[in-house]
Amino acid sequence: MNNDATLDIGIGGMTCASCVARVERALKKVPGVSTVSVNLATESARVQLATDVPVSATEQVPTLNMEARLRRAVRDAGYEPRAANTLTDAPDASRWAGFAPIAWGLALSMPLVLPMLGDLFGWHRMLPALWQFLLATPVQFVLGARFYKAGWHALINFSGNMDLLVAIGTTAGWALSVWLWLTAAPDAMVHLYFEGSALVVTLVLLGKWLEAGAKRQTTSAIRALHALRPEVAHLIGPDGEVDVPADEVLVGDQLVVKPGERFAADGVLLEGFTQVDESMLTGESLPVAKALDSLLTAGSINGDGRVRMRVRAVGADTMLSHIIRLVEDAQAAKAPIQRLVDQVSAVFVPVVLGIALATLLGWWLSGHSFEMALINAVAVLVIACPCALGLATPAAIMAGTGVAAKYGILIKDAEALELAHQVDTVVFDKTGTLTVGKPKLLELACVPDQEHGSGAPRAEVLQLAASLQSGSEHPLALAVLASAKAEGLALLAATEVSAVPGRGMQGLVAGRPLLLGSLRWMDELNVDLGPLAARAALWQTQGATVSALAQRVTQDGQGATDGNDRKAGQARVVLLALLAFGDEPKPAARQALDVLRARGLRLVMLSGDNRGAAESMARRLGLNPEAGEVMAEVLPGDKAAQVLRLKGGGHRVLMVGDGVNDAPALAAADVGMAMANPDGGGTDVAMHAAGMTLMRGDPLLVAAALDISARTVRKIRQNLFWAFAYNVAGIPLAALGFLNPVFAGAAMAMSSVSVMANALLLKRWKP
């Protein structure tokens, strides 16, 4: 394969951080694998294939064969390969699904435990040893068979996991009880430990069941996104309207969407008017009005209007699918803090086995009975299971990214989530991010004829400017086109049109070689602004963005044709007109900046506008140009350099932008945050370069994204602290004889449940 490829594989049977490490080692041994990330919470692995995977003549579909090899490696490691996304794609199961084994375990264990409770009240009755044996053995070897199977696979692969610890510990307790029973004198009352082994198995099964329920809750957000896909679409075919499966819709098809239905694909509104609920995609609760040519998004809900649309994207190319992929990528990725957990879990089980052996020998050799020594060693094995360690990080990441997606904040990778709360500087692109991004043509001033005092008619100049920019998507070009359309001006044919990066456009309109761009470009071309210089300065001080329309002319005053023409070599550029554009701040922009400043962050606005216009807008937004909070006249190609300069000064930089020209700066920042704009222009490119994406153009979401990042990282640290503290405190207590196996089993089961429950608290977050 010549391109990188990523494969996702579901994995059943993983129970702890040691399992994660073992699966990763097995998958990394497969030839052609570059990197592997295994997630215990999602029970899946994401495998990145090497750039160049050799393909034999018989291997026409290498990716499929590679997937088969990976699945075989998972099975050989002792786990069950499954289809990817089984956890997120599965419908919500009954809350009692999978409880039957626990119910059987409780039913068989309770008769063993009740006499222990009776001792507290002076009721000394013990079940006969045979009855204890008959009750405990099915729990140990039937309900606990999963521990033996998984533990055996770990053993033959020279590694350890939670199942091995539980299997060894409970088997030791069961075997000790059998030995004491069979070697006891006739009619002697000997204390057996069948109840301990049976109850530990039952409690561990109960803990895994509670944990599975919590996992389903952490994936509820991604399942909700999957559920947005409608199954049927109303296709307008040759024979009229017919219902077809949504998967069969093609780009270019025309669909009818009835009131209350979900859109089956991305498209453009062709007929009708409606209000659309896009809350599951953008987090915006208010319906969005849609008129002719408005963009429609798959998964959103049509309001009360029957509309007709043309499909522009289907399947994996829709915005909904892209959002789902981003959320799944974030939940499959490993946060940098997880590396510490991986390093610990790699040696954890062997160390615990060593501690258990030392406990056994220490108690026995110090003169205590072998029975007591073994029970204390069993307690060490049971309480040390590293379930919570494996779940601490992925559970918090899944809950955090899921609730963020609910409110229109897409987190692309776990590293961005972990770094976002550390930033101390936030850099905003101005146009479309802090401002509405739809500037209007405010003024157009033509150069007066020096001889007669009157220049070209305004309508003629506006027609030339609009014709030159007829194919451009730049906000200023759209403003010119809108003004020309409003005045009913017909566009002229434009040829040889080309963009001059960071400066403007040039081309031929009606045979006239025109240039339209910034005053900085005009200055580079030695264009004399003449009597309009004072007006340009006034507009700039008022905060307007000023552009110039000019024409190349020869020394004899005739228009030069192109750069290759002999006359063009003697050409000069003369000014025809100046155009003043104005933009408005977004309604919540100033409030958003105030919120970020209150968090102690340094704020910077990047703009390609002249300094006067940029500083004027900055003051309207509450920024202080004198404090270095404005960077003006920055060319698109220099935005990344400015971000790198800030990083070089020791700052952690968050870059917020919305367009194609922001992509390099988004990639250069410690954390890039792409802000979707309503028309979608350039957003896809920005989203690919950014670690986070805001699905609404609301600057307040920047602070919300930083907040959920900080809260998620706080949950990760809390979980890891309790997971480590639990083992650090529990193992010595068990080794010193202060914990019996039953209490150790209960504590171990509840540790992983508490980690999941703590992570699920993030689901209550609101921006």
The stretches of 123-161 forming alpha helices (DSSP H) are 129-138, 145-156
Is 523 tagged catalytic?
no
Catalytic residue selected from 329, 429, 658, 698: 429
The stretches of 407-514 forming alpha helices (DSSP H) are 414-420, 458-468, 475-486
In 3D, which of 336, 338, 343 has the Cα closest to residue 416? 336
Q: How many CA atoms lie within 13 A of 343 on its CB side?
A: 5
Residue partners of 222: CB distance under 8 A and separation at least 6: 88, 324, 327, 328, 331, 402, 405
Pairing of strands 240-245, 274-277: unpaired
SS3 608: coil
3-state SS of 523-579? HHCCCCCHHHHHHHHHHHHCCCEEEEEEEEECCCCCECCCCCCCHHHHCEEEEEEEE
In 3D, which of 67, 85, 358 has the Cα closest to residue 225? 85
CB 663 within 8 A of CB 686: yes
SS3 450: coil
Spatial separation of the C-alpha atoms in residues 410 and 402, rounded to whole Å: 9
Residue partners of 348: CB distance under 8 A and separation at least 6: 17, 18, 384, 386, 389
**Phi/psi at 206 (5° precision):** -65, -45
SS3 422: coil
Spatial separation of the C-alpha atoms in residues 357 and 262, rounded to whole Å: 62
3-state SS of 61-129? CHHHHHHHHHHHHHHHCCCEEECCCHHHHCCCCCCCCCCHHHHHHHHHHHHHHHHHHHHCCCCCCCCCH
Q: What is the end-to-end Cα distance of the chain in Å, rounded?
A: 44
**Phi/psi at 551 (5° precision):** -140, 140
Phi-psi region of 326 (alpha: psi -120 to 50; beta: other; left: phi over 0): alpha
Spatial separation of the C-alpha atoms in residues 664 and 672, rounded to whole Å: 10
Question: What type of residue sits at position 99?
Answer: F
Question: What type of residue sits at position 604?
Answer: V
Residue partners of 342: CB distance under 8 A and separation at least 6: 17, 20, 21
CB 733 within 8 A of CB 693: no
DSSP string over 253-288: -EEEE-TTPBPSSEEEEEE--EEEE-HHHH---S-E
Spatial separation of the C-alpha atoms in residues 86 and 39, rounded to whole Å: 13
Place of tokens 């006034």: 538
Residues assigned a catalytic role: 429
